[in-house]
Chains A and B, each alone.
Chain A
């Protein structure tokens, strides 16, 4: 399964970005291969609709679960319809590797 984690930077030491649509990077973690790919978020500075644009990016990569600080009202129903699970972690100090470790223990 692929999990998207919103990240403030492009390495595993980077912190979890608390914003979904306007995060800096998406860390796409594959629970089978245990590999993480970092992709920059092109919609970071979009005037409107950063959330839906971000959903489009992660959904097109077959992500089934997203971990971020919070999810805006406009995208919740969108993600529900796509069957993508949302997990909110309100801890800006957590790094991407911390979260990947948490996923491994599940």
Chain B
């Protein structure tokens, strides 16, 4: 298996557009593939494929419950908590857990010498597993409203990718923070999608630098080519970053996509371009067995 993450710094550049078109064309060619929608804050990959839901796994973490009858207000649990999730005012005998801040590490339970802390499950989101055309899994990470970080839900979703499929396409969340890192860290290769605008370049630069630090190989697709300016191309040439493809800015593509249709369904040459990119990546970076 080779895992290819589709990412970008900026939102709205076309990550999901590229990921869904690649997955579609791979399944068209009967290449065994899996698509993971890791944009847990706003997953939308499933709206492009008629699929059948097979499984739903709830993602939970454990948060402490404090028994005030046993608590001596010693403050040790508060000291152990790196995330400031336990609020304590010993003189007023007030102690409370701020569940939103809890990372579920369990340190407070270890800290308590008075048996005053138990744990209860706290739902973070779901991992939905669907099948497209009967055999190609689409894994959706979907976090619950109001949860602080999607990382745990993404982590769970990535575990369901398995090793059977030939190609796994990972649709990454935008940005370069933890959710992005979590996704691309699993990838053998990263395709960064950008647009030729100053915003696109600024965020592309951040993502490229992050991936260099992580030692992750990557290339760039310029989406909506024809708008903006030439600075992204100049940057790629200067940095020696490979430009994999330019997708022209087109009202027709935008129109199709907004109706939930993918250009590869009707545009054979676009499909071939994407397949060539995947073939080259597989030839160059496949079988690395990145099991992280």
Q: Which residues of A contact B (CB under 8 A)?
A: 43, 46-50, 52-53, 55-56, 59-60, 74, 78, 81-82
Contact = CB atoms under 8 A, between A and B. Distances in A.
Contacts of B84: 43, 46, 48-50, 52-53
Given A56-B88, A74-B101, A49 B96 contact: no
Nearest to A73: B100
A43 B83 CA distance: 11
B96 A48 contact: no
Interface string B95-137: 0101011010000000000000000000000000000000000
B105 to A, nearest CB: 12
Contacts of A52: 84-85, 87, 98, 101
Contacts, number: 41
A56 B73 CA distance: 14
Contacts of A56: 87-89
Interface of B: 82-85, 87-89, 91-92, 94, 96, 98, 100-101, 103
A81 B95 CA distance: 11
A45 B88 CA distance: 20
A48 B83 contact: yes
B89 A48 contact: no
Contacts of A53: 84
Contacts of B101: 48-49, 52, 74
Contacts of A78: 87, 96, 98
A76 to B, nearest CB: 12
A48 B82 CA distance: 8
B85 A49 contact: yes
Nearest to A46: B84
A41 to B, nearest CB: 13
Contacts of B91: 60
Q: Which of B85, B88, B91, B98 has the most chain A CB atoms inside 10 A of its CB?
A: B98
Given A46-B84, A52-B87, A52-B98, 17 more contacts: A43-B84, A47-B82, A47-B83, A48-B84, A48-B103, A49-B83, A52-B84, A52-B85, A52-B101, A53-B84, A55-B87, A56-B88, A60-B91, A78-B87, A78-B96, A81-B94, A81-B96
